Amino acid sequence: MILNRQGLCCKFAVEIYHTLSENFAVSDETLSRSEESHFVEMCLEQPVRCAAEFDRRYRKKTEAFLVAKGAHEEEAKDAFAVVVSQCFSPAPDKVSKFMHFDGSCALQTWLNKLTLNQFFTYKRRERLMESLDALPGGREKWAGSVDAAESERMPLLELLRSAILAAFQACTAEDFVMLQLAHGDGIMHKELATIFRCDEPAMSRRLKSAREGIRDATLGYIKHSDPYLKLKWQDFMDLVRSKSLGELGYS
The pLDDT value given to residue 135: 53
Tell me what the pLDDT averaged over the chain comes to: 77
Q: What b-and-e string marks burial along 93-128, b requiring 16 or more CB atoms within 10 Å of the CB?
A: eeebbbebbeeebbbbbbbbbbbbbbbbbbbbeeeb
Judge whether residue 63 has pLDDT over 80: yes
CA gap 184, 178 in Å, rounded: 10
Is 132 within a domain? yes
- What is the distance between the alpha carbons of residues 98 and 25, in angstroms, rounded to a whole number? 19
Report the distance separating Cα 69 and Cα 91, nearest Å.
Answer: 28
Q: Determine which helix (DSSP H) or strand (DSSP E) holds 36, and give its type and residue range.
A: helix 33-45
User: CB under 8 Å to 82, separation ≥6 — which residues?
Assistant: 118
In the structure, how many helices (H) and strands (E) does the chain have?
Answer: 11, 0
E strands of the chain, at which residues? none
24 falls within a domain: no
Q: What is the pLDDT of residue 130?
A: 59
Domain extent at residue 186: 5-19+30-248
pLDDT in tens, 196-209: 899 999 999 999 99
> What's the confidence (pLDDT) of residue 156?
72
Rg for the chain (alpha carbons), in Å? Answer: 21
180 by Cβ neighbours in 10 Å (0-12 / 13-18 / 19+) ranks as buried
pLDDT of residue 34: 87
Model pLDDT for residues 143-165, shown as the tens digit of each residue: 455 444 444 455 677 777 788 88
Residue 25 falls within a domain, yes or no? no
| Residues listed for the chain | 251
The total number of structural domains that make up the chain: 1
Structure-model confidence comparison of residues 58 and 154, the more confident one:
58
Whole-prediction pTM value? 0.62
Residue 140 lies in a domain: yes
Q: Which of 237, 97, 224 is nearest to 160 (CA)?
A: 237
* Higher-scoring residue by pLDDT: 225, 54: 54
Residue predicted with more confidence, 233 or 131: 233
pLDDT of 60 above 80: yes
Burial class (CB in 10 A: 0-12, 13-18, 19+), 15: middle
In a domain, 162, yes or no: yes
Inform me whether the pLDDT recorded for 141 exceeds 70: no
